[in-house]
């Protein structure tokens, strides 16, 4: 659907969820933000472009918000229809935007050795089956501006969920497109029910991204997996996202303070997940992303000790 002049939201199925891509058009150039998974291109994106009379060969830039497969998996499929487009990604995410095995090992497999947590084999198989990548033509770091002819849009660094996460600021339309840069207190299914925890990874950068969104004061906040946020709902979503970081701090601190011995990350999550959200035990294990980020911040502040000498790393409150 067209949300504002020259700003389109293109929503494709993603299992029980959805992935929203965004098209910025102007008389001189165009920019697509994310390509979904491989099947999103033929199944949703190309039919939408045909419906609005937009030839994909007119695409000027294709920007991957970040490295996750459901945002980059359609890159190769789209490149076959958009030969003139330049593909861009955030510098720290480039390697995982170009190679699915690097993505699986470095992002989804990050906690396998240290914590004993990994995606189930069927999930990894689905990632491989849904992802066709291609080389990144240009790495960006935030601050780059793209002239569409009737307005300029700006790329912003929006780290936290991933190191190279990007957002797009369309000042003319007062629209901030953030993809997964800010994640509320749960990632939803398409029907709005809670699917799994907000998987931010680096806590201080994540909070800085929330602060940046507040500073810009958008009238329209656009994500990849959530409904549209407009007006007062923008502030509400930002408040909810920041409050969830504080909730993890509070719950984790209380548990570590009373623990009789150091806890592994999964032990800590097993003891606290019912206080952190409504997900089942399997989905709740994805708390390992934000909980680890908060724990690392506590270590940096001298409040928690991390021990990596055993088969699994453990965490202990500094008494």
Do 229 and 87 sit in the same domain of this protein? yes
Write down the pLDDT at residue 111: 98
Write down the pLDDT at residue 24: 98
Q: Is 206 helix (H, G, I), strand (E, B) or coil?
A: helix
**Is 174 a member of any domain?**
yes
Last residue of a domain, one of 179, 208, 240: 240
H or E element: which one contains 42? none
Last residue of a domain, one of 206, 240, 274: 240
Write down the pLDDT at residue 17: 98
Give pLDDT tens digits along the chain (319 positions): 999 999 999 999 999 999 999 999 999 999 999 999 999 999 999 999 999 999 999 999 999 999 999 999 999 999 999 999 999 999 999 999 999 999 999 999 999 999 999 999 999 999 999 999 999 999 999 999 999 999 999 999 999 999 999 999 999 999 999 999 999 999 999 999 999 999 999 999 999 999 999 999 999 999 999 999 999 999 999 999 999 999 999 999 999 999 999 999 999 999 999 999 999 999 999 999 999 999 999 999 999 999 999 999 999 999 8
Identify which of 243, 249, 263, 241 has the alpha carbon closest to the alpha carbon of residue 297: 249
Do 214 and 265 sit in the same domain of this protein? no
Do 235 and 271 sit in the same domain of this protein? no
**Is 46 a member of any domain?**
yes
CATH code of 136's domain:
3.60.15.10
Write down the pLDDT at residue 319: 83
Do 86 and 176 sit in the same domain of this protein? yes
- Cβ atoms of 189 and 16 within 8 Å: the answer is yes
Structural domain for 275, as ranges: 261-317
Do 57 and 161 sit in the same domain of this protein? yes
Give residues with Cβ within 8 angstroms of 154, minimum separation 6.
Answer: 143, 144, 145, 146, 168, 169, 171
Do 45 and 132 sit in the same domain of this protein? yes
**Is 248 a member of any domain?**
no
Neighbours of 120 (CB within 10 A): 9
CATH code of 283's domain:
1.10.10
């Amino acid at each position: 659907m067209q949300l504002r002049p020259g700003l389109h939201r293109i929503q494709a199925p993603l299992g029980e969820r959805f992935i929203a891509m965004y098209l910025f058009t102007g008389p001189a150039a165009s920019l697509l933000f994310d390509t979904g998974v491989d099947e999103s291109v033929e199944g949703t994106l190309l039919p939408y472009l045909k419906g609005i009379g937009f030839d994909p060969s007119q695409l000027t830039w294709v920007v991957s918000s970040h490295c996750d497969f459901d945002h980059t998996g359609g890159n190769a499929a789209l490149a076959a229809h958009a030969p003139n487009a330049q593909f861009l990604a955030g510098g720290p995410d480039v390697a995982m935007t170009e190679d699915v095995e690097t993505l699986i090992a470095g992002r989804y497999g990050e906690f396998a050795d240290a914590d004993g947590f990994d995606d189930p084999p069927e999930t990894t198989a689905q990632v491989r089956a849904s992802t066709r990548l291609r080389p990144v033509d240009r790495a960006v770091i935030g601050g780059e501006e793209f002239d569409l002819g009737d307005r300029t849009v700006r790329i912003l660094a929006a780290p936290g969920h991933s190191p190279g996460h990007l957002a797009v600021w369309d000042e003319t339309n007062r629209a901030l497109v953030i993809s997964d840069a800010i994640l509320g207190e749960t990632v939803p299914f398409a029907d709005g029910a809670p699917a799994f925890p907000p998987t931010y990874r680096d806590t201080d950068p994540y909070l800085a991204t929330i602060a940046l969104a507040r500073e810009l004061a958008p009238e329209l906040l656009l994500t990849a997996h959530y409904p549209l946020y407009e007006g007062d709902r923008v502030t509400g979503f930002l408040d909810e996202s920041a409050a969830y970081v504080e909730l993890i701090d509070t719950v984790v601190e209380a548990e570590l303070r009373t623990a009789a011995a150091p806890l592994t990350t999964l032990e800590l999550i097993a003891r606290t997940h019912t206080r952190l959200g409504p997900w089942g035990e399997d989905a709740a294990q994805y708390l390992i992303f934000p909980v680890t980020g908060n724990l690392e911040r506590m270590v940096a502040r001298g409040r928690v000790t991390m021990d990596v000498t055993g088969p699994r790393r453990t965490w202990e409150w500094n008494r």
